[in-house]
Structure 1
Amino acid sequence: MFALYLTVTLIAAFLCGWAGVLGLIGHEIPKSQAAKLGVPGSWTPVMGMLLAAGTLGLLSGIAVPLLGTLAATCLVLYFVGAFYAHVRVRDHDFTLWSVFFVAVVAALAVNLAHYGLGGAWEL
């Protein structure tokens, strides 16, 4: 079970870390997405920082399960907000969003499956 947990967590961390770095360096991809969704461009570095923090939390969760559970939960909520942003402007292209959402939901699921509902809350 640990191998599955580690693999899924590393994949989710890679995806969120990649997106976080793109947001932090001001790459055109997150800027164009923000413009398409009607989000101010000044929010792009903030969203990148949130993704980077979530990535660090997922990776820290390998050693401290509570951090991984909280990070995965926050990333799920982040992408639920992103879904709302897409729906709000009637953008129904959820291809890239679904890859990220499935990854973070899977990371949360394997975290809870590996550590259990009680074990994930222990320091």
Structure 2
Amino acid sequence: MHTLAIVVTVVAALWVGFSAFSLLRRAAWVVEPLTEYGVPRSWWPRLGVAKAAGAVGLLVGLAVPVVGVLAAVGLVLYFTGAVITVLRARAYGHVVFPTLYLVPVVAALTLGLVG
């Protein structure tokens, strides 16, 4: 189980890190929906940094488990908020996108708590 937890955590961290990078680089496929959902531009840098910090926290958690758990909990809250934001914007077809980030983080958290 330990190896699985490490692999899932690293994949989740890389996936969330990619999301952070894409937001910080203001990739059109990321920022256009944020505009549509009504997320203020002034929030974008902080949201990107929060995701990046969470990704780093997941990796640090491989050595310091409490940091990984806290990072995972933070990311679960972040992506749950993203799902709620999409639902409030009534962009129901887009709910899958934040969920694609939420699921691996939940898996990493679950495996981290079980292991």
Letter in 2 for 1:76: V
Letter in 2 for 1:40: P
Q: Which runs of 5+ in 1 are unaligned?
A: 115-123
Instruction: State the Cα deviation string for residues 60-117 of structure 1 (Å, max 9, x = none).
Output: 0000000000000000000111111011111112222221111111011011011xxx
Decide which structure has the larger Cα Rg and report it: 1
Letter in 2 for 1:65: P
Give 1:119's aligned residue. Answer: none
Give 2:5's aligned residue. Answer: 5
Number of residue-to-residue matches in the alignment:
114
Do the aligned residues in 1 keep the contact of 2:83 with 2:99 (CA within 8 Å)?
no
Give 1:118's aligned residue. Answer: none
Separation in 2, partners of 1:66, 1:108: 11
Do the aligned residues in 2 keep the contact of 1:30 with 1:44 (CA within 8 Å)?
no
Separation in 1, partners of 2:58, 2:111: 12
Compare 12-21 and 89-98 and name the one that shifted more.
Answer: 89-98
Give 2:64's aligned residue. Answer: 64
Q: Which has the higher contact order (CA 8 A, sep 6+)?
A: 2
Give 1:97's aligned residue. Answer: 98
Separation in 2, partners of 1:10, 1:107: 9
Percent of aligned positions that are identical = 39
Q: What TM-score, normalized by structure 2, do the two folds share? A: 0.94
Do the aligned residues in 1 keep the contact of 2:9 with 2:59 (CA within 8 Å)?
yes
Give 1:42's aligned residue. Answer: 42
Give 1:75's aligned residue. Answer: 75
Q: What TM-score, normalized by structure 1, do the two folds share? A: 0.88
